[in-house]
Structure 1
Amino acid sequence: MIKLNRRGALALMGGTAASTLATPALAMNKKIKVGALRFTSHSGNFVAYERGYFADAGLDVEFEFFQAAQPMAVAIASGDIDYAVTAISGGLISLADKGAIKVIGGALKEEEGIDGQSYLISDASYQAGTKTLKDLDGKKYAVTQAGSSFHYMGAKMAAAEGISLSFTPLQKVGAIIGAMKSGQVDGWSIVPHIAKPLAAAGAWHVVGKVSDYIPDYQVTTVFTSADNAANERGMTESFLNGFSRGVDDYAAAMIDGTADQDVMVDLIHKYVYTDRPREKAAPSIINGTMRLAQNAALNIGSVQDQLSWFQSEGLVDADITLDTLVDSSYVETTGA
């Protein structure tokens, strides 16, 4: 098993309802670090911590917050954090190929009937006549990096529409928002808490749903180091158990309407949009609601589709198998 420091991991990245989980062997107050972004989609972890579900599972959790997904993958590979949630990217797959990380479960996913990620056209392009996704043919489509989930979403839509896109890497979501507002790029796709309010303000136009082009898309996954997956089974099961209880509470309040949404928004606001007063943060928290997989179930068919796309684009090695990326022994898998 390869043990990576932060520098080595960064080099690799640049190279290319109740839980039905098995009852975990309690980790006995085991101290772990969990990587997170301050997004509504990470609420499973926040709820599990605030309501004592991690503690019930024998874990003493400390959060480490990141500004983007890629540094979380590096931190997992280097052993600086133990568990995290992120989208599948070329960098993540490359780290798995080096024996550094494993996907062990599912988190955010597209589901019919629930607001999800949207395809957008900048207002400048829209006013100039780019009204539909097909009209984006030959135009600039924003991504963070080549091999990101944004790249995958744009490419899947372009293939379905029979168009060609000029993928434009801008590194950070904030930079993409600025480029969309100023008309420097023409199209993008993003989660609803960003898409909807800025569409209402006239910054861009929502012209399609990601779920129409990528049904049942497993947007983010739960992952850990390959060492934890192989050698810390009790701790890993404990983490997934606590996380899944948090997801159940989140879904009950934010999606299913069987628990108090206001109470849940108060809890999430401790971590998300903390720089805003609660009354201003609440709409964005609610707009960010998407389905998180119950019991961390993993859509293995979606993961395989993503892996195959990255390989077809030459972004990762062609001989990487699904088993290299995923340890499917922890949760139920679907879509095979």
Structure 2
Amino acid sequence: MTHLTRRGAMALLGGAAALPVLGTPALANTKVTVGALAFTSHAASFVAYERGYFAEAGLEVDFKFFQAAQPMAVAIASGDADFGVTAISGGLISLAEKGATKVIGGALSEEKGIDGQKILVSDAAYQAGITTPKLLDGKKFGITQSGSSFHYMGAKMAAAEGIDLNYIPLQKVPAVIGALKSGQIDAWAIVPHIAKPLAGSGAVHIIGDVADYIPDYQVTSVFTSANNAANERAKSAAFLAAFAKGAADFNAALVDKTAGDDAAEEMVKLVHKYVYADRPYDKAKPGIVNGAMRINAGAALNTTSVKDQLDWFIAEGLIKGHITMETLVDPSYVETM
């Protein structure tokens, strides 16, 4: 895990004045740890950090980077991280059922007209004639863990197509990528900033869109510990407000493209500090630009989509016990839909 801390460089302007939408009270140098993945889909947090929105809200942020959703959920529950932005997983839901975690906002979403997550197949599978998702019957579909968002996406696609998939848990995203490129698995689904460069290399092929099977999918959510949600409202509201400002900048620059070419270029350079940072800028830029998906305005949460995900986990027996939306989600922080 990588740690990054912003210290002293930004003047604290006062959360209430800077962030009126969520009514955030001013905090003073409150240290928080934010879980993230090095994905374009996590850009709202990166923008809020780099442009001082967290600092303006009185938050001193330290990032912890993970390679899968479920370990992040465990970190939130254990107190090793304060806030996380990632997909809803079986691990997150189980921890919520135990009273350890709470979803408090929304982040990445599938939206009609905006390029979204792709269904990929290996070159070997493609050359063997698998050119549409329907032809994946009985094939190996890569996931990080059982009960991950990859599992959910694969299952929804399989149910719609009337096929069965053989799910292969590989624990980490890099391991899934390696298995797909080498033909050890046949298929996977992932965000476009990863899917498109892989397809461009010729090692894999895009054969479908997740949005065709899960319209208006709330891909990632903002979550925290149940204690933070209930008892640290000022801190939680401050985080969400700063996160929302970062999302607004990102959407304007790379999704709606209303901020102009200079702003778009500046945004790509900012995101490149975290995404494909090991690649030269000119190599990383296309993947970042082409991978820009909508991050919900105001950190709004699509509870209809979250409920569908919860119902699927329950129906598949991937979580134990009985859990309701009220246990999983605190809807008091943001607009819900």
| TM score, norm. by length of structure 2 | 0.91
Alignment of 1:166 with 2:166, yes or no, is yes
1:54-203 equivalences under 5 Å are 54-203=54-203
**Divergent runs of 4+, >6 A:** none
Which of 277, 281, 284 is the aligned partner of 1:278? 281
**1:163 positional shift:** 0.8
- Contact 2:120 2:206 (C-alpha < 8 Å) held by counterparts: yes
CA–CA separation in structure 2 for the residues paired with 1:330 and 1:263: 30
CA–CA separation in structure 2 for the residues paired with 1:182 and 1:277: 25
Residue 36 of structure 1 is matched in structure 2 by 36
Alignment of 1:300 with 2:292, yes or no, is no
Cα deviation code 1:229-272 (max 9, x no counterpart): 00011111111111100110111111111221111111112222
Q: Which runs of 5+ in 1 are unaligned?
A: 1-17
**1:19 positional shift:** 7.2
1:321-332 equivalences under 5 Å are 321-332=324-335
**1:68 positional shift:** 2.4
Structure 1: which amino acid aligns with 2:158? Answer: A
SS at match of 1:109: coil
**1:34 positional shift:** 1.3
CA–CA separation in structure 2 for the residues paired with 1:333 and 1:99: 22
CA–CA separation in structure 2 for the residues paired with 1:198 and 1:186: 14
Structure 1: which amino acid aligns with 2:185? Answer: V
- Contact 1:19 1:241 (C-alpha < 8 Å) held by counterparts: yes
CA–CA separation in structure 1 for the residues paired with 2:88 and 2:111: 18
- Contact 1:53 1:245 (C-alpha < 8 Å) held by counterparts: yes
Q: Which moved more, 1:66-75 or 1:82-91?
A: 66-75
Q: Which runs of 5+ in 2 are unaligned?
A: 1-17
- Contact 2:140 2:185 (C-alpha < 8 Å) held by counterparts: yes
CA–CA separation in structure 2 for the residues paired with 1:141 and 1:73: 23
Q: Which moved more, 1:159-168 or 1:29-38?
A: 29-38
Cα deviation code 1:87-137 (max 9, x no counterpart): 001111000011100000000110111111011122211211222211111
CA–CA separation in structure 2 for the residues paired with 1:19 and 1:109: 23
**1:70 positional shift:** 2.0
Alignment of 1:261 with 2:244, yes or no, is no
Residue 49 of structure 1 is matched in structure 2 by 49
**1:278 positional shift:** 1.7
Q: Which moved more, 1:94-103 or 1:252-261?
A: 252-261
**1:288 positional shift:** 2.2
SS at match of 2:235: helix
CA–CA separation in structure 1 for the residues paired with 2:334 and 2:205: 38
CA–CA separation in structure 2 for the residues paired with 1:33 and 1:238: 13
- Contact 2:134 2:161 (C-alpha < 8 Å) held by counterparts: yes
Residue 313 of structure 2 is matched in structure 1 by 310
**1:324 positional shift:** 0.7
Residue 3 of structure 1 is matched in structure 2 by none
Percent identical: 67
- Contact 2:255 2:294 (C-alpha < 8 Å) held by counterparts: yes
